[in-house]
Amino acid sequence: MGKWQEMTREELEKQYAPSRWSHRMDKEAVIEAHVREVTEGTRRAQATMQTLLHVPYGGSDGEKLDIYLPTDPSEAFPLVLYIHGGYWQFLSKEVSGFITPPLVTQGIAVVAVGYDLAPKGHLDLMVAQVRRSVAFIVQQYSKISGVYLCGHSAGAHLAAMVLSTDWEEYGVTPDIKGAFLVSGVYDLEPITHTSVNNLLQMSREVARRNSPVLCVTAAKPARKACEVLIAVAQHDSPEFHRQSQEYFQALRSAGWRVSLLDIADTDHFDVIEKLYQGGYILTQVILNMISRA
């Protein structure tokens, strides 16, 4: 796998183009199929679970949460914050509830985080919003036994940026015990050379400031308690594999507890879509990490 700097613009575009390894589908069809899958999964989840929808954590239209509560929220419970993908410019919390059934049935609360998408939102704003959502939720629920971050693609990027937060600015220190980062983007500079950046309008400075691989902080005692899982789909593009490997190495070098998981027979989309299945390998890894924390 070559470095992105060695690629032509056309080659780089292909690295970030939505694709499904098992089907011959164009970009729009791939996205439509993914949206259908997560929308239907969320509809099923909301039909059977105790929910608090559109809970504001700030003043912007995008700053809202969908909360999926376990059967008995009077007891202490772990809480997973799910941050959706969509290249920071599509999808929403409204289609993010599909992951909840196997977690909520095990007594885990799930919070789907909304944030302002491009072009209204920009990278600095989105990162700040997701950080504020974490601070808000831990202040709302005193019985949380631990916070876990879960993000897919652009959402994995935002979850990774949460790991580098200086919480003194927010007046709270969340007990972040784990992070599940799935098919994430950890180095934003290559994206500035692709059409993905048309709406984002990232400068090189903004991209570097918001690249998790460049924001890794040393694992202080509080951070050493946090276990990070970096997962990548077998059929993700070489660029996604490169970024996952480099972010894994950066965290490990800084003293974090981190593991890297290559999930067989998955692509960039079904690697997250399958989280509604209790027997799916990634679901099982997440449940095991939470249960032993």
Q: How far apart are CA 169 and CA 173, in angstroms?
A: 10
Is the preceding omega at residue 119 within 30 degrees of 0, hence cis? Answer: yes
Q: Is the dihedral of CA 83, 84, 88, 89 positive or negative?
A: negative
Number of H helices, E strands in the chain: 11, 8
DSSP designation for 126:
H
Just list the catalytic residues: 153, 236, 268
Collapsing DSSP to helix, strand or coil, 43 comes out as: helix
Helices (H), the chain: 9-15, 27-48, 101-104, 123-140, 154-163, 197-200, 204-209, 221-224, 238-253, 270-273, 281-292
CB 293 within 8 A of CB 177: yes
The residue written with tokens 């059977």 in the block is 48
Collapsing DSSP to helix, strand or coil, 205 comes out as: helix
Query: What is the chain's Cα-based Rg?
Result: 18
